[in-house]
Amino acid sequence: MSKVCYGVYILLWMFSMVECKIPEVRVTCIFSESCTLPCSFTPTDAPVRIQWYHQESLIFSLQQGGEQLSNGNTWLQVEHISHGNATLLLKRVVVKNRGRYKCVVNNTSQTYVVAAVEAPIRMITIGAHPSGEIQCSTKDVYPPPDVHWTTEPSLPSTALQPVTRMFSDGMGLFAVESIVKQNNNTFEHMFVCNITSKYGTQIWTASLQIQERTGSEGQKLVIPCKAPKNLQFSTLVWTFTNANKTTDVLKYDSRTHKTTNFQDYAEIKDERALKGDGSLTLGNPVDSDHSGIYTCVFSGETTRHLIETSVNFSLSRQKKGFR
């Protein structure tokens, strides 16, 4: 009896050794794009049968010169089979395509592919609300990313107390909103939000400064706007918000060194903007028309830096004299 058991143990050990030698490949597929799952084998003159499984469910089957079974989202280049290539193409990848795949050729050769699905971060926003909250957000991301807040100069971690919420849509993609509250020293700090993809392949950064300026009607006013040191930006955009209506003021493109003005009452110096100083000059401002929130936005490949300035105008001395 002991000899029989010993023989069984040997067989199990041999089987486990064979299992361990089955190659496993890891790939990352991008949401809504095509993705290749590699599988190779030693070609012969005999007919080839290829089967692909996802989580042990058959999703593709091909008998060379015979019938082909597919779920409509998979494709295999038949002309490559003679070269030992059974690579499968997934079309229009969705979240449920993640998981373990198995490629079986002629019921002998096996290859395992572990597919991760990622919907990369493609945008980040940051802004202040009248309620006193600063919100950083992104959307259409998978897996849900990590959000981290800091300030410059640094504040104690307990001072920020961020609240982060994540919402999933019908496709399994996530929208992320993270909020911190402004403090008594808001004007003295820059708030920095970092959103990092779950796989660590991306880090997007958005930063916000809040300031106030007061000017006199009819007199030029300069609204400061300077990019953080070493920030690589492609565009600088100024907007103006008054009575919940936002209008474009101007746009500067650092690649062409050109400025597009949408309002004739404001200007920047192109030579300064190229060096990261996009300060806006308002000419002959009128209180009712030009008081509000001016926002300058530096945008780079994975960065956004905003400066929101609340601007108010008082009557000039000359106008006060007529009252």
Domains of the chain, residue spans? 22-118, 119-201, 209-323
Beta bridge partners of 180: 134
Position 18 scores a pLDDT of: 44
Residue indicated by tokens 């999933």: 168
Could you check whether 22-118 and 119-201 share the same CATH topology?
yes
Token reading at 158: 């307990």
Backbone φ and ψ of 186, nearest 5°: -55, -40
CATH topology for the 119-201 domain: Immunoglobulin-like (2.60.40)
Assess contact for 144 and 198: CB atoms under 8 A: yes
Query: If you compute the radius of gyration of the chain from its CA atoms, what whole number of angstroms results?
Result: 30
Token reading at 209: 């400064």
CATH topology for the 22-118 domain: Immunoglobulin-like (2.60.40)
Backbone φ and ψ of 289, nearest 5°: -90, -30
Assess contact for 119 and 31: CB atoms under 8 A: yes
pLDDT beneath 50, residues of the chain: 1-19, 321-323
Residue 21 has a CB neighbour count (10 Å cut-off) of: 8
Superfamily for domain range 209-323: Immunoglobulins (2.60.40.10)
Position 157 scores a pLDDT of: 73
Position 316 scores a pLDDT of: 63
Token reading at 135: 């919100």
Position 5 scores a pLDDT of: 44
Q: What is the pLDDT of residues 106-147, one digit of tens each?
A: 988 899 999 999 999 999 999 998 888 999 999 999 999 999
Assess contact for 200 and 302: CB atoms under 8 A: no
Position 284 scores a pLDDT of: 86
